[in-house]
Amino acid sequence: MALPLQVQAEIVGREPAGAYHRLVLRAPGIAARVEPGHFVAVAIGGVDSAMLLRRAFSIHRADPAAETIEVVFAEAGRGTRELARLRVGDSVNVVAPLGTPFPLPAEPVSAVMVAGGYGSAPMFALAERIVADGGSVAFVLGAATAQRLYGVDQAQAITEDVVVTTDDGSEGVRGFVTGPLPEVLTAVEADVVYACGPMGMLRAVTEVASAHDARVFTAVEESMACGVGVCMTCVLPVVGDDGVSRFVRSCVDGPCFDGTKVRWDDAGTIPADIEGAAAMGAH
Amino acid sequence: MTDGYGGFADNFADNEDAGDFDDAPPSTIMLPGGGIDLATRIGSTLLPNPVTTASGCAGYGKELAKFFEPAAIGAVVTKTIMPYPRSGRATPRMAETPSGMLNSIGLQGPGIDAFVERDLPWLAARGGRTIVSIAGGHVDDFVALAERLKGAPGVVGIEANISCPNVANRGQVFACNPATSYDVIRAVRDVADPQVPVLAKLSPDVTSIVDIARACVEAGADGLSMINTLLGMAIDPDTMKPVLAGITGGLSGPAVRPVAVRCVYQVHAAMLDGQMAQVPIVGMGGIRTGLDALEFVLAGAAAVSVGTVIFNDPSSPVRILDELRAALIARGFGSLEAAIGYAHR
């Protein structure tokens, strides 16, 4: 596991990207430690900020030579609105790299990258790594609308096998990523699926991949307060190797999980068989 | 690995793996003394400095060791330990609020056995001083936990969490009533290692915190930890439902600091006034800077805990220690002790 650093990062680039913003941060020492699937926790404002909780973003790209990392984000609330106001030359406090990254195959594989919206952010660096290691990749990128797709051009720069879906049909195939996914998995004889996006999508992708006997690794988007493993707010019910289900932390044990180990349907509940559930009744 | 994916399943086998960063250099090294005596005493325990982590905000020390050496601060106060593994509540478990947050974790934890066998030895080996927060549903649970901690390595204190709002009978926590507070603290003090001070963690959600504090001191508490979170809630205007799965949660962060300072001030005043024996107060509630910590010291705290702000700034305990030291020196104090309760003079 890479040791995270807490540094003051300078914004050296920012640009709109469809419905999103892309930020380039010069964060000394961090880029060289980043693996695809790692995330960064960004503080909102300075020491007097009324927003205490860091915002977590998967790292889009990391360039060790330039000492930069990139993130893609949507303006979805107070914190991200604040981030969107920052300009080149401003600085933000970041902690990175955090989390358990995507596992990389030990041998060349046929991989399918599935993402919803800007969930695609970490997928391009991962795909490039798989291709560099002698494997092949295909992409299925989906979003509600064409505006909310991210990185179709980046995917097309890596592979010809790029399928796009939108809920409203404004680009690509109308519908969800799980529509064309079975056909893609068959066509490329997929060994493994990597997915990032909302919980419902990850659950559905896990089902499709499992039905095709492909491994499936999912990066979850769970809200978290600390990002470093101490607050216990970002837990998900996950089956351990010992067969026992536990609430595990998305920030350190994830965000990348074996999709078949996550109990998607039980998220947001206390399953009766989860470790320690019995103790909840007493008091 | 047998499935060809490097290291992945290992993350499930033991996600607390101790080998991750044992070789990492400490990110911060405390300078000895720094020109002022910061040592502080809680019962028979002498801490080299007054900054501790607040229970529930620092895990069992290990995660934060990536950001600072546990031994650099006065003590690590652990997340509350209970007799058995406990799942905690359903998610969502938190909501950001102005200058603070609500949490509704529900005391998720591994239970005392795993803690004593796995987490405590790690902290001790790292040179950390540990104040173990304990809780249970009955006096017997507290007694069993205090018994189990006898002779455990690195334990310099026990904090009896009689005030967690995230339990099923919230609003009826032990710390809402002087008699039940007395019973728990008396029982823990009776069985705990005599060399290990017992602290009572108090709730601000009471009509008279002085009455509760007095009961705890009469029961033998060697110190008082003030304050736990305030019971609160938030409703999402879009879904029009409570944000937290547990509906209510504990409010923490700088938003609660004036309440916490008031509680410390009132109890310290009652001690000065002879209404109860004088014991050290560990002050906490929204400490973000050294000046915030100083505010608690001036109100009467002999030590402070840094909590929610760790989520914002994981290295904040050592920063706050440095800032507090500088603030004391700048005001001409020759020692921490000289500043304790200064606002009352």
CATH number at residue A130: 3.40.50.80
Domain boundary among A198, A221, A244: A221
- Quick check: is A103 in a domain? no
Task: Return the CATH number of the domain spanning residue range B31-343.
Answer: 3.20.20.70
Please check whether residues A198 and A255 belong to one and the same domain: no
For residue A182, being part of any structural domain is answered with yes
Report the C-alpha gap between B225 and A128 in whole angstroms. 53
Coil/strand/helix, residue A142: strand
- Is there a single domain that holds both residue A135 and residue A189? yes
Nearest to B139 by CA among B85, B199, B182: B182
Local confidence band at A280 (pLDDT 50, 70, 90 cut-offs): confident
A200 HSE (CA, 13 A, CB side): 2
Which residues on neighbouring strands pair with residue A78, listed in sequence order? none
Asked whether B82 and B112 are in contact (CB, 8 A), the reply is yes
pLDDT of residue A223: 87
Chain A residues with CB-CB distance to B3 below 8 A: 215
**In which residue ranges of chain B is pLDDT below 70?**
1-34, 166-172
Q: Please say if B164 is a catalytic residue.
A: yes
Chain A interface test: which of B17, B67, B91, B318 (most A C-beta within 10 Å): B91
pLDDT at B167: 66
> With contact defined as beta carbons under 8 Å apart, do A192 and A258 qualify?
no
Query: For the segment A202-212, what is each residue's pLDDT rounded down to a tens digit?
Result: 999 999 999 99
Chain B environment of A106 (Cβ under 8 Å): 1, 4-6
| 8 A C-beta contact, residue B148 and residue B155 | no
Indicate whether A125 pLDDT > 60.
yes
Across the interface, of B9, B86, B311, the residue whose CB is closest to A231 is: B311
pLDDT at A276 over 60: yes
List chain A residues with CB under 8 Å of B5.
103-106, 192, 215, 217
Are A232 and B93 inside 8 Å of each other by CB? yes
Structural domain boundaries enclosing A254: 224-278
Is residue A139 a part of any domain in this protein?
Answer: yes
Q: Any binding-site annotation on A80?
A: yes
- Distance of residue B66 Cα from the nearest chain A Cα, in angstroms: 7
- Asked if residue A215 and residue A117 are part of one domain, the reply reads yes
Q: Tell me the pTM.
A: 0.92
The domain ranges of chain B are 31-343
Say yes or no: A173 contacts chain B, CB-CB below 8 A: no
If one counts the domains in chain A, the total is 3
Tell me whether residues A241 and B9 touch, CB distance under 8 A.
Answer: yes
Residues of A numbered 231-260 whose beta carbons fall under 8 angstroms of chain B's beta carbons: which are they? 231-236, 238, 240-241, 246-249, 252-253, 258
- What does pLDDT average to over chain A? 96
| The pLDDT value given to residue B60 | 94
A54: domain CATH number? Answer: 2.40.30.10
> Residue B5: what pLDDT?
57
Q: Locate the chain B residue with the closest alpha carbon to A46.
A: B312
Q: Are residues A78 and A131 in the same domain?
A: no
Closest CA to B321 of B52, B131, B12, B25: B52
Checking A158-164 for CB contacts under 8 A at 24+ apart, the result is: A158/A124, A158/A127, A158/A128, A158/A131, A159/A127, A159/A131, A161/A137, A161/A187, A161/A188, A162/A138, A163/A138, A163/A139, A164/A140
Please state, for a pLDDT cut of 70, what percent of chain B lies above it.
88
Do A62 and A129 sit in the same domain of this protein? Answer: no
Residues of B in contact with A246 (CB under 8 A): 87
Q: Which of residues 63-102 of A touch B (CB under 8 A)?
A: 79, 93, 95, 100
The answer to the question of residue A204 being in a domain is yes
Check residue B34 and give its pLDDT.
Answer: 52
Last residue of a domain, one of A98, A120, A138: A98
Determine the pLDDT at residue B164.
81
Which of these three, A206, A221, A236, is where a domain ends?
A221
**Which residue among B11, B93, B310 places its CB closest to the CB of A253?**
B11
pLDDT at B170: 55
Same domain, A237 and A271: yes
Predicted confidence (pLDDT) per residue in A155-189, tens digit: 999 999 999 999 999 999 999 999 999 999 999 99
Are A166 and A243 in a shared domain?
no
